[in-house]
């Protein structure tokens, strides 16, 4: 005789330790330290390139870096063929003239956003992508450590900017899946104008974006 066990769908909760470490505002001080350290590294790197004509004028610095990454003798610098083909395409199209300026702007914008604590998770994502691309090009240096710190800031996005502008931006603007106070009020006005009534989903109360300290 066999029996069937039916499982009701439910949301699996995070362990208490991770909730405290990544979502509790009492740990905001720790993520502020990590955030400011990463902001310093990106801003100093960006300003160094901004004052270098080989980055902002000719782009020769990036060109030489790409040519070095494309070397295959005595062994390939880039491990993955698809990424080598991508870099080769950029070299063939002389993309270093504009891509170098994009790198400089990206480093400065990521650093400033982290410094201000504005959309910290998004800024850390773009910073981590830059570290990841450099590692794919065969350069290790400090990039693995910076990539790890960026991932931690992404995971702690709800509190990493709590000691910064995110303390006000996140409740006001919310997220794509849960509008904040300002955008929700704008949506309510729009729905009221179209006559959808109070039963519209836009009237649902938003969940708090940051876990209060217990």
pLDDT (0 to 100) of residue 192: 62
Residue 24, φ and ψ in degrees, nearest 5: -90, 130
Residue 119 near residue 169, CB atoms below 8 Å: yes
pLDDT (0 to 100) of residue 2: 53
H or E element at residue 41: helix 28-50
Locate the DSSP E strands across the chain.
Answer: 174-175, 178-179
Give the DSSP per-residue string, 62-124.
HHHHHHHHT--SSS-SSS-HHHHHHHHHHHHTTTHHHHHHHHHHHHHHHHHHHHHTSSHHHHH
pLDDT mean across residues, the chain? 87
pLDDT (0 to 100) of residue 6: 55
pLDDT digits (tens, 9 = 90+) for 17-47: 999 999 999 999 999 999 999 999 999 999 9
Between the alpha carbon of residue 161 and those of residues 22, 124, 132, the distances in Å are 12, 11, 23
Distance, CA of 130 to CA of 45 (rounded, Å): 12
Kindly calculate the radius of gyration of the chain based on its CA atoms and give it in whole angstroms.
23
Give the distance, in angstroms, between the CA of residue 45 and the centroid of all CA atoms in the same chain. Answer: 18
pTM: 0.82
Residue 31 near residue 160, CB atoms below 8 Å: yes
Distance, CA of 188 to CA of 140 (rounded, Å): 50
pLDDT digits (tens, 9 = 90+) for 168-197: 999 998 888 888 787 677 777 766 655 555
């Amino acid at each position: 005789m066999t029996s069937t066990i039916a499982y009701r769908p439910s949301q699996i909760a995070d362990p208490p330790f991770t909730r405290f470490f990544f979502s509790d505002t009492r740990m905001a001080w720790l993520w502020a330290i990590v955030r400011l350290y990463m902001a310093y590294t990106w801003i100093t790197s960006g300003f160094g390139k901004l004052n270098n004509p080989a980055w902002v004028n000719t782009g020769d610095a990036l060109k030489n870096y790409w040519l070095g990454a494309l070397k295959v003798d005595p062994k390939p610098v880039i491990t993955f063929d698809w990424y080598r083909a991508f870099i080769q395409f950029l070299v063939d199209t002389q993309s270093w003239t504009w891509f170098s300026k994009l790198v400089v702007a990206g480093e400065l914008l990521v650093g400033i956003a982290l410094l201000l604590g504005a959309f910290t998770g998004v800024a850390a994502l773009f910073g981590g992508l830059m570290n990841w691309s450099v590692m794919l090009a065969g350069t290790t240096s400090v990039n693995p450590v910076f990539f790890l710190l960026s991932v931690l800031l992404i995971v702690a996005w709800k509190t990493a900017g709590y000691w910064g502008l995110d303390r006000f931006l996140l409740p006001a603007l919310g997220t794509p899946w849960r509008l904040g106070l300002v955008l929700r009020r704008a949506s309510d006005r729009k729905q009221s104008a179209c006559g959808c009534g109070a039963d519209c989903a836009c009237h649902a109360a938003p969940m708090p974006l940051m876990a209060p300290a217990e």
